[in-house]
Homo-oligomer: A and B are copies of this chain.
Amino acid sequence: MSEITPKQQFVSLISNAKKILLLSHENPDADAIGSLLGLLIVLRRLKKEAIAICPDDLPSNLQFLPFASMLKKDLENQDLVINIDCGNVALDKLGYKMEDHTLKIVVKTLQGSLKKENLSVFLTAEDYDVVIVLDAPDLERISYFYQEHPELFYRSVVVNIDHHPTNTYFGKVNLVDLTATSTSEILIGLIEALEKEEKLIDKAVAHCLLAGIIGDTGSFQNSNTTPKSLTCAAQLLAAGADQQQIVQNLFKTKSLSTLRLWGRVLQQIQEDRQLRFVLGRANKTDFQESNAKEEEISGVIDELLRSLPDYDLVILLSEKEKGVAGSLRAINPTVDCLEIAKTFGGGGHRGAAGFLVKEGSIEEVAQQVVAKVREYQAKRLGLNLVPNSTPPVISSEKPTS
């Protein structure tokens, strides 16, 4: 007799479950929210008591998704439990009354006294038959929700649906497909397996899942794009997903302050042609004059600066509240940004890395970073830098044509 597959386990679990809890990770992206909402709509359609929790605020660019308002940040209707460690104290009786919206509980003792330290108070969630964790490589990514409700993960069957290579297989049932572009893509097959007569992937579900696929593939521009992700997208588009609304919200929405800030960065780009790198920067004045928040700087490096084919890498420095933040991106894939970022206490990957220098002005950090990158590039390209020369200066002049 052949063994039951995880997919069959999933179908059987859902069929038998009455109460289902859906969870995704902190800092949610389009795939986290898309998969959460897509599956929530399906389970509600199957008459399950399902709720979906995202342990973070819903980003404004994802609020367009259908039924986004059904997402909760935490469980509702939790029970309050008060445990009193009585030790040797002999109890007499317990009484309570309501007084002006105040519940007053009195514990009378026969002998000895209870102390405040003997009391422990916590909230307890109702039980769920199944807890489905979406798009999270491990339970820590569910953030405070996991810390506050650990009991839920012991008392329920945990289903882990994910596509990240770092997934720790923390579930009782693990539907982890590392070849999938996104958790939303994995859900298509799982939802179809739940179908009986009625099609479950309707317009709303298709819209949510397509948002997940488009988000995680960068609108089919990232290197993870597969033939399967494109056929899945075709299926969802045919089922009624509004691809224009998704693209508009995920990629084509910028504020005037963002564009003004990016303008200031672009206009001041400095380059080192010989050592093949460029440096962009945004100081406090740039943020203030463009009326932009700190996080508005982030897109300019991937959307624009990284598109310079004649350079090997790009650095972006920005003066933030906590210090000078640096981002590094490899344009030439043989450059190792992580090696450079580590020098400044940072982390990341070869292709994209970052760091935060808490001390020093942006000018000082720029000099240090430029010196380090020059050294790195000179070695890589086999060029000689004059030792002990004056501090490196790179050009922001109009290039001579």
Contacts and interface: CB of A to CB of B under 8 A. Distances in A.
Interface of A: 219-221, 223, 225-231, 233-235, 237-238, 243-244, 247, 251-257, 259-260, 262-269, 271, 278, 288-291, 304-310, 398-399, 401
Contacts of A237: 225-227, 230
25 contacts: A219-B221, A220-B243, A221-B251, A221-B252, A227-B237, A228-B234, A229-B234, A230-B231, A230-B233, A230-B234, A231-B231, A231-B234, A252-B307, A253-B309, A255-B308, A256-B269, A256-B308, A259-B266, A259-B304, A259-B307, A260-B267, A263-B268, A266-B266, A267-B267, A290-B398
Given A306-B252, A399-B256, A267 B264 contact: yes
Contacts of A255: 308, 310
A46 B396 CA distance: 54
A256 B271 contact: yes
A261 to B, nearest CB: 9
Chain A binding site: helix, strand, loop or mixed by DSSP? helix
Enumerate the 6 nearest inter-chain pairs by beta-carbon distance, A residue then B residue, closest first.
A263-B266, A263-B267, A230-B234, A227-B234, A227-B238, A254-B307
A263 B256 contact: no
Nearest to A254: B307
Nearest to A233: B230
A223 B252 contact: no
Contact of A223 (B227, B229, B244, B309): B244
A400 B257 CA distance: 11
Contact of A227 (B235, B253, B260, B307): B235
A258 to B, nearest CB: 9
